[in-house]
Chain A
Amino acid sequence: MNIVLDNIGKSYKAGKREVLALSGVSLNVGSGEFVSIIGPSGCGKSTLFKIICGLANPDRGSVRINGSRDYRPGDVLSYMPQKDLLMPWRTVLDNVLLPVKIRGEDLKKGREDALGLFPLFGLEGFESSYPGELSGGMSQRAALLRTVLAGRELMLLDEPFGSLDAITRFNMQQWLQEIWLKLNRTVIFITHDVDEAIFLSDRIYVMSPRPGSLRDCLEVTIPRPRTSSAVIGNNFVKLKEKLIGLLADQLPPSDS
């Protein structure tokens, strides 16, 4: 698994104006890596994912997955959008099985796999609940489980913990690290949160405000599995200082 973004550019038409969302984005992610993209709101992070997923076409540049430009997204990646997008009319179990159902794969086996993961995702006992009965954090975990169960090697996670409180958020980050270590997937992870990025990533790209580009990159070498005490370790604090410095250096977005 190998994904290469080469000089991606993308602009949107907003009425008469053209909004340049991305400009010259290049990125290289290898097998089994956990790479984060951090940047201010509106800098084009979600747009980048939409381009990788084939939901938006770049104006310039190319995306190659395993060397190929015309991959079928459904075969190589699973995408977790910013919203959980659970179907209110399907139970939690049926929701997480949606990718299995769509591909016409073995539902019985899928169900077994899913049920095996419910405890890990803190969803045990809610298999036959409806999304409307879940808390915000549980909905995000269900969406994450759906993404994991899609079983593709590359996972694109767009602020999966965006709407969580600090405590749940930290638990979820530990979960995600656990899952990632266990399942050996490649992850590209979008976040606003400095601690989250450092805690989870092998590498962090800092995206500049609109037009977004990946200017700086930070390697995180804190050994895994990282525990809650890693957050106050010397290494962590230094990286955090550096990352906050990089983010502060970014010019504020000019809308004029």
Chain B
Amino acid sequence: MSGCKGALGGLAVFIAVWELAVLLAGIPKYLLPPPSDVLVYIVRDYQLIILHSAYTLAAAVSGLLLAVAAGLLLALAMDYWPSLESGLYPLLVVSQAVPIITLAPLIIMWLGYGLLPKVMVAGLICFFPLTVSVIGGMRASDRELSDLMRVMGASRWQVLWLARLPAAMPAFFSGLKISAAYSVMGAVIGEWLGSSSGLGVILLRFTHSYQTARVLAAVTAIVVMSLLLFGLSELVSRRVMPWHHRRQG
């Protein structure tokens, strides 16, 4: 909580310096508007912003959930069938050499201009960090615990479900927190490439007409949304892993 206060204080100072600098240096507003202008547009455009935010949020959250489901399933399957892991894991790592942003146009081509391609872009971006963190967490789980469970008569599936997967939860949730922010980025990228709604669209539109204050208003919405998803992941993590957070105090 004290960290939260500190961050808010830092933000306030940053905004104040920005406002003063713009005023004193006489920077033209189309290059860098003062924060007060941005605030004015946030208030004036709030209906527009909320409308498009909802669209972006829907894409981001669906993509994230899709990635969570796919990532967990794949990690479980790879852990259960080692041959699957040795075959697929290198591919998964190499796939990261392909920047998603270069695939996005293809995805738009295949899936059109609706919500689905944005969900896919967001999902693809989240998928890798999530899957890799779960696999990493499972690999790091205590070998001796698995052995003990085998002595107790546990099946391979029970070892996986009762020991290896829970052991990977802290890693999963750190992956989730990163992915939550990525998912918004993914949705916005998807919208840039072709869409009729979403924050990505109004971002482009305002940029083209040099309405810098309104661009920054949209950026603020994106930041708030990312933070919200990040905070929500943290909340879920606290609900799911009370043991983890209690120990850290």
Interface residues of B toward A: which range?
20 to 34
Partner of B152 from A90, A102, A132 at Cβ < 8 Å: A102
Q: Which residues of B contact A (CB under 8 A)?
A: 142, 144-145, 147-154, 158, 162-163, 166-167, 169, 241-244, 246-247
Q: Known contacts A130-B247, A132-B246; is A89 also within 8 Å of B169 by CB?
A: yes
Looking across the interface, which residue of chain B has its beta carbon closest to that of A80? B148
Is the pair A102, B148 in contact by a Cβ cutoff of 8 Å? no
Partner of B243 from A72, A89, A101, A150 at Cβ < 8 Å: A89
Is the pair A55, B150 in contact by a Cβ cutoff of 8 Å? yes
Q: 17 A-B contacts, Cβ less than 8 Å apart?
A: A55-B147, A55-B151, A74-B153, A81-B147, A87-B163, A88-B243, A88-B244, A99-B153, A102-B149, A102-B152, A102-B153, A102-B154, A103-B153, A130-B243, A130-B246, A130-B247, A133-B247
Q: What 0/1 readout, one digit per residue, does chain A (78-105) give for beta carbons within 8 Å of chain B?
A: 1101010101111000000011011100
Q: Which residues of A contact B (CB under 8 A)?
A: 53-55, 72-75, 77-79, 81, 83, 85, 87-90, 98-99, 101-103, 130-133, 150
Contacts of B244 in A (CB 8 A): 88-89
Looking across the interface, which residue of chain B has its beta carbon closest to that of A50? B147
Looking across the interface, which residue of chain B has its beta carbon closest to that of A100? B152
- Total contacts A-B at CB 8 Å: 65
Looking across the interface, which residue of chain B has its beta carbon closest to that of A156? B151
Contacts of B169 in A (CB 8 A): 89
Q: How far is the CB of A160 from chain B (nearest CB, A)?
A: 14
Looking across the interface, which residue of chain B has its beta carbon closest to that of A130? B243
Q: How far is the CB of A190 from chain B (nearest CB, A)?
A: 16
7 other A-B residue contacts (CB within 8 Å) besides A54-B151, A55-B147, A133-B246: A55-B151, A72-B153, A73-B151, A81-B144, A88-B247, A89-B167, A130-B246
Looking across the interface, which residue of chain A has its beta carbon closest to that of B246? A130
Contacts of B166 in A (CB 8 A): 87, 89-90
Is the pair A85, B144 in contact by a Cβ cutoff of 8 Å? yes
